[in-house]
């Protein structure tokens, strides 16, 4: 029976040689033309700014920034950065006017991510103004510090505290400055840990930390345990010995939830092989919305409904764990995830990074950076090649916002550029190597 969720991977595996024809001469024009396509579609009106970095115009600004940082695009750098500034300026005004302060503190769906990206773009342009969005970002600390600041769940990546920490991490990486004080970071980490302890205790979990988002106990990167733990590991120097133990116990607990190289979307769910998919994100129905930005996001949830699995996201947690303590079982877990992504990662849900082919391929770039094994670079090249085939174009679901960073072409562009500089490649806005 034909798999409705992914294309069959008919590519032969690595035999010692990378693909010819995927060098800068071929890829740069392809990237430039994709960017032209994106810029024709991206709205520049303040009334069309919701979706944040996830699928709003701000994500396009980030993509332009990312491309302009690559030395191979030095010719386009100035134009891309200026365009990025125009786009992000509108998004900043939108975030400033956001009446819900909780949404302003959201990373992928709200203001925190927009301010962070604005600071990066201004800094690249040499503007002293970059401190303005930074101080706006910093002031959001107070919003997300209270343990239950969001009713739907205060700790995940898109709108919760893990996202706020993730943005701080990206800023540290890109600007070379720790934007929050040690005490502020400690406080946020402790709130995440306390919140997870309380939830696990209340629900009588047999492990120390657990979280829910709209009532669902997600495990994957988008709203689940794995990205929360990843951020705590990223700041583990700020934790006490006892807190660190809780985090590592939870990492090992999550590792124990593997089912044949994969993880259920939700704690306790059983993966059926025929339904298996390998997204970065999560997919399960949400119940209510915080506001428009989230209801926009519900489109994404509809697209990914009934998707039970996401090694492509969980791999980043185990990569982080491996980078910290070098225990081979963490790397082995990443490698096993990568094998499943190679088999089932040619997804039919578009070219994007959230639940599309580029998101799958980023796992290979991650594995390349972890192991130095060219096999993974080859596999990423094959997935890149597939995005340009007729089979993909004809058989893939159309994407609602074609310009978006997570579902649309902006994420694809980031991936194609990273394939040209694999030693620095990283899933957008989700740093493991800081
Ligand atoms: Zn997704």
Ligand 1 centroid – CA 162 distance (Å): 17
Ligand 1 centroid – CA 303 distance (Å): 8
Q: Helix H segments across 56-160?
A: 57-69, 74-97, 101-104, 111-124, 131-139, 141-144
CA-based torsion, 287, 143, 54, 163: positive or negative: negative
Instruction: Give mean pLDDT, residues 141-161.
Output: 96
Q: Rounded distance, CA 281 to CA 265, Å?
A: 9
Query: 162, 231 in Cβ contact below 8 A?
Result: yes
Ligand 1 centroid – CA 64 distance (Å): 21
66 is in an annotated binding site: no
Select from 180, 110, 90, 191 the least CA-distant residue to 146: 191
Ligand 1 centroid – CA 182 distance (Å): 33
Token readout for 348 is 């039919």
User: Does the structure show a pLDDT above 50 at 268?
Assistant: yes
Q: Rounded distance, CA 172 to CA 434, Å?
A: 8
Ligand 1 centroid – CA 304 distance (Å): 6
Quote the Cα angle for 81-121-183, to 5°.
170
Q: Rounded distance, CA 103 to CA 116, Å?
A: 14
Mean pLDDT of the chain: 91
Ligand 1 centroid – CA 223 distance (Å): 10
The helix or strand, by DSSP H or E, that contains position 318, with its residue range, turns out to be helix 311-325
Query: Residue 93: phi, psi to the nearest 5?
Result: -60, -40
pLDDT of residue 45: 93
Select from 397, 390, 388 the least CA-distant residue to 31: 388
Instruction: Give mean pLDDT, residues 411-425.
Output: 98
Query: 255, 330 in Cβ contact below 8 A?
Result: yes
144 is in an annotated binding site: no
Ligand 1 centroid – CA 363 distance (Å): 15
Q: How far is CA 229 from the centre of its chain?
A: 14
Ligand 1 centroid – CA 305 distance (Å): 10
Instruction: Give mean pLDDT, residues 74-98.
Output: 98
Ligand 1 centroid – CA 114 distance (Å): 20
Instruction: Give mean pLDDT, residues 290-305.
Output: 44
Ligand 1 centroid – CA 107 distance (Å): 16
- pLDDT band per the 50, 70, 90 thresholds, residue 278: confident
281 is in an annotated binding site: yes
Select from 426, 389, 427, 420 the least CA-distant residue to 74: 420
Residues 205-260 have pLDDT tens digits of: 988 999 999 999 999 888 999 999 999 999 999 999 999 999 999 999 999 998 88
Ligand 1 centroid – CA 280 distance (Å): 6
Token readout for 162 is 């893990």
């Amino acid at each position: 029976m034909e798999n409705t969720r992914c294309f069959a991977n008919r590519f032969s595996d690595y035999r010692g040689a990378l693909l010819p024809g995927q060098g800068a001469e071929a890829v740069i024009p392809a990237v430039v033309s994709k960017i032209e396509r994106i810029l024709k579609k991206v709205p520049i009106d303040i009334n069309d700014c919701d979706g944040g970095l996830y699928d709003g115009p701000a994500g396009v600004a980030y993509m332009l920034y990312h491309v302009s940082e690559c030395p191979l695009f030095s010719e386009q750098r100035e134009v891309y950065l200026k365009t990025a500034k125009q786009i992000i300026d509108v998004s900043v005004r939108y975030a400033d006017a956001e009446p819900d302060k909780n949404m302003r503190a959201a990373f992928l769906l709200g203001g925190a991510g927009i301010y962070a990206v604005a600071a990066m773009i201004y800094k690249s342009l040499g503007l002293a103004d970059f401190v303005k969005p930074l101080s706006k970002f910093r002031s959001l600390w107070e919003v997300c510090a209270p343990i239950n600041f969001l009713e739907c769940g205060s700790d995940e990546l898109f709108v919760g505290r893990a996202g706020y920490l993730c943005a701080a991490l990206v800023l540290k990486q890109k600007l070379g400055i720790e934007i929050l004080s040690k005490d502020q970071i400690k406080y946020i980490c402790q709130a995440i840990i306390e919140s997870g302890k309380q939830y696990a205790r209340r629900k009588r979990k047999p492990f120390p930390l657990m979280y829910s988002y709209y009532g669902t106990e997600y495990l994957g990167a988008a709203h689940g345990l794995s990205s929360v733990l990843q951020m705590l590991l990223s700041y583990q120097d700020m934790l006490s010995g006892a807190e660190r133990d809780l985090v590592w116990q939870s990492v090992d607990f999550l590792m124990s939830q593997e089912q044949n190289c994969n993880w259920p979307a939700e704690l306790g769910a059983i993966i059926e092989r025929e339904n298996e998919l390998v997204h970065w994100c999560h997919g399960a129905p949400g119940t209510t919305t915080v506001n428009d930005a989230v209801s926009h996001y519900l489109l994404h949830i509809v697209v990914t409904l009934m998707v039970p699995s996401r090694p492509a996201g969980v791999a980043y947690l185990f990569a982080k764990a491996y980078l910290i303590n070098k225990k081979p079982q963490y790397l082995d877990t990443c490698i096993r995830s990568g094998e499943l992504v190679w088999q089932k990662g040619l997804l039919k849900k578009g070219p994007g990074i959230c639940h599309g082919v580029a998101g799958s391929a980023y796992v290979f770039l991650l594995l390349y950076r972890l192991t130095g094994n060219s096999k993974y670079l080859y596999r990423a090249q094959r997935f890149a090649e597939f995005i340009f085939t007729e089979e993909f174009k004809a058989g893939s679901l159309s994407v609602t916002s074609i310009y978006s960073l997570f579902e649309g072409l902006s994420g694809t562009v980031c991936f194609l550029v990273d394939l040209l500089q694999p030693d620095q490649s990283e899933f957008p806005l989700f740093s493991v190597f800081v």
